[in-house]
Amino acid sequence: MADTRIHGTTRQQVGRLFETVERPALRPLPAMVFPVFEEARRTVHRDGYVEFKHAYYSAPPEYVGRPVWVRQDARLLRLYNTRREPIALHALALGRNYAAVLG
């Protein structure tokens, strides 16, 4: 069993070391999930849309031809101007990535 073996570097029993030193040092997990998102710079197309992960999202008309930041989390896609001010919010669209799953 792995817990009873003697560790090659520390020369101590793995299970006993974990119970006496490492487990007491562990803290509880945070109450909230750490935010995970993808972010990319895009340019708003002439038709007023931004492409991100094979899906298109509308941007305000005054941003046509200008760069914006796109940030996608688990449920939403947010558009920001270059000063990182929010300019649009969208529910995620199902792009080509999901087509095979939904099949």
Reply yes or no on whether the pLDDT at 101 is more than 80.
Answer: no
Q: Angle at Cα 48 formed by Cα 75 and Cα 81, nearest 5°?
A: 65
Query: Which tokens belong to 34?
Result: 């750490």
**Same domain (yes/no): 44, 24:** no
Find the CATH number of the domain harbouring 55.
2.30.30
Q: Same domain, yes or no, for 20 and 60?
A: no
**pLDDT tens digits for 27-67?**
998 888 888 999 999 999 999 999 999 999 999 999 999 99
As for how many domains the chain has, the answer is 2
Between CA 51 and CA 27 the distance in angstroms is 41
Q: 5 and 26 in one domain?
A: yes
**What single DSSP character describes residue 6?**
B
Instruction: Verify that 22 and 68 share a domain, yes or no.
Output: no
Q: Which domain holds residue 11?
A: 1-31
Q: Please state the pTM of the whole predicted model.
A: 0.62
| Same domain, residue pair 48 and 98 | yes
Q: pLDDT digits over 65-88, tens only?
A: 999 999 999 899 999 999 999 999
Residues 88, 73 share a domain: yes
